[in-house]
Amino acid sequence: GCRVWRFPCQRRVVAASRLLRGDVPAGGDHRAPGGRQGALRQRRPRRRPRPDALPRLLRQGTSLRLRQFTIFMRLVIHAWMLLSLLQGCDGSVLLESTPDSAAERDSPINNPSLRGFEVIDSAKVRLEAACPGVVSCADVLAYAARDSVALTGGPRYDVPGGRRDGTVSLESEVADNIPAPTFTLDELTRSFAAKGLTQEEMVTLSGAHTIGRAHCTSFSDRLYNFSAMGAADPSVAPAFLSQLRRACPAGPDGAVDANLAVPMEPRTPNGFDALYYWAVLRNRGLFTSDQALLSSPPTAAQVRQSAYGGYPWKLKFAAAMVKMGQVEVLTGSSGEIRTKCAAVN
């Protein structure tokens, strides 16, 4: 059998205690009626993949430089959220494009923002060598997101397992299903509601913008041509506007270099904390969608509560991540357990 090992993690945090707990089903039909949206169960498997593979690879693959580490942590957390809102939690964002079809990961919305897929692929290779056909790529990504939150100072939480992998990944479906950085509050609310998530959970999950970096092109309209009016977004704090314009200068043609990026939350860009909400309160939210959280009394009140109550927000974030991880899952005989995360079997 495959033993469960404990392992030390950054800042003496045990990354979710164990990578693959007894909540990873190891065979059998765990499907609820209907097949696709089956219930994920926390039950003891007959065989357990050794859990040291993914956490060690998370650290080995990203700890050489702190910036690389943060880029990968953001990839995992945001890829998991993106996947949940797009196809459901079926690992489709990990699939590579084929000559006949462009995949989700190559959409302009995701590329070049999402990187580090090779670390997930390496973890999957190790898991397959230990216990082939047991852990899906969707579950690997779920556990990686959990561990990434913990490794950067966020809460530790349990993740039910038993997802299976999808076989379809279409670039054309990304734009219509993923919340854009230009979304208004109503658009954000509708986008999350379509996946069974409340407005309160949307505000809670927006706090993931506390970590990582964003490309200047994703918000440059706020700096130079907001609403196609040839001026900056008036809701951006003046000092913050000057800072962003220095970091993201416009060329002679008015375009911004697509390779330039800035921290999502500059005070602690490598830490999972509530300073994102303080930034929004000070009109220093990076995206239009960030600042939109202040456009209604209920969501503005929640932003203030999250800013002042970092620990309660982290608990709510963990609960929202678990709920999001059960959106339109494949279980039972639906989908497959991919041997390689980048390609269908």
Provide the H-helix boundaries in 116-271.
Answer: 117-130, 137-151, 185-193, 199-206, 220-224, 238-247
Distance CA 269, CA 265 (A): 5
Instruction: Evaluate if residue 242 carries a pLDDT over 60.
Output: yes
**What's the confidence (pLDDT) of residue 15?**
31
Query: Could you tell me if 27 and 161 lie in one domain?
Result: yes
**What's the confidence (pLDDT) of residue 64?**
41
What is the CATH classification number for the domain harbouring 211? 1.10.420.10
Instruction: Evaluate if residue 74 carries a pLDDT over 90.
Output: no
Domain extent for 242:
185-322
Q: How far is CA 171 from CA 14, 107, 168, 219, 297, in A?
A: 36, 5, 10, 21, 36
- Residues 305-341: tens digit of each pLDDT: 999 998 999 999 999 989 988 888 898 999 999 999 9
User: Is 345 among the domain residues?
Assistant: no
Query: Could you tell me if 135 and 214 lie in one domain?
Result: no
Last-in-domain residue among 120, 150, 176: 176
pTM above threshold 0.85: no
Is 201 annotated to bind a ligand? Reply is no
User: Is 194 among the domain residues?
Assistant: yes
> pLDDT band at 18, cuts 50/70/90?
very low
Is residue 40 within 8 A of residue 326, CB to CB? The reply is: yes
Which residues on neighbouring strands pair with residue 236, listed in sequence order? none
Structural domain count, the chain: 2
User: Rounded to 10 degrees, what is the CA torsion of 226, 229, 230, 231?
Assistant: -60
Instruction: Evaluate if residue 14 carries a pLDDT over 80.
Output: no
Is 209 annotated to bind a ligand? Reply is yes
Query: Could you tell me if 33 and 137 lie in one domain?
Result: yes
Distance CA 324, CA 36 (A): 15
Surface-to-core class of residue 111, CB atoms within 10 Å of its CB (0-12 exposed, 13-18 middle, 19+ buried): middle
User: Is 328 among the domain residues?
Assistant: no
Q: Which of helix, strand or coil describes residue 63?
A: coil
Q: How many C-beta neighbours within 10 Å does residue 263 have?
A: 18
**What's the confidence (pLDDT) of residue 203?**
97
Provide the H-helix boundaries in the chain.
Answer: 53-62, 66-85, 117-130, 137-151, 185-193, 199-206, 220-224, 238-247, 275-281, 288-291, 297-308, 310-324
Is residue 23 within 8 A of residue 49, CB to CB? The reply is: no
Is 62 annotated to bind a ligand? Reply is no
User: Is 135 among the domain residues?
Assistant: yes
What is the CATH classification number for the domain harbouring 156? 1.10.520.10
Instruction: Evaluate if residue 7 carries a pLDDT over 60.
Output: no
- The length of the chain is 345
**What's the confidence (pLDDT) of residue 255?**
92
- 78 is annotated as an active-site residue: yes
The two tokens of residue 125 are 């290779």
Instruction: Evaluate if residue 254 carries a pLDDT over 70.
Output: yes
User: Is 332 among the domain residues?
Assistant: no
Query: Could you tell me if 91 and 204 lie in one domain?
Result: no
Share of the chain above pLDDT 90, in %: 40
Query: Catalytic one among 78, 124, 164, 284?
Result: 78
Query: Could you tell me if 144 and 62 lie in one domain?
Result: yes
User: Is 344 among the domain residues?
Assistant: no
Is 289 annotated to bind a ligand? Reply is no
- Residues 84-125: tens digit of each pLDDT: 666 668 888 889 999 999 988 888 777 766 767 887 888 888
> pLDDT band at 153, cuts 50/70/90?
confident
- Residues 260-302: tens digit of each pLDDT: 999 999 898 888 899 999 999 999 999 999 999 999 999 999 9
Query: Could you tell me if 108 and 237 lie in one domain?
Result: no
- Residues 21-58: tens digit of each pLDDT: 333 333 333 333 334 444 555 444 444 444 445 555 55
What is the arithmetic mean of pLDDT over 157-173? 89
Is 273 annotated to bind a ligand? Reply is yes
Query: Could you tell me if 58 and 153 lie in one domain?
Result: yes
User: Is 299 among the domain residues?
Assistant: yes
Query: Could you tell me if 237 and 215 lie in one domain?
Result: yes
Instruction: Evaluate if residue 4 carries a pLDDT over 60.
Output: no
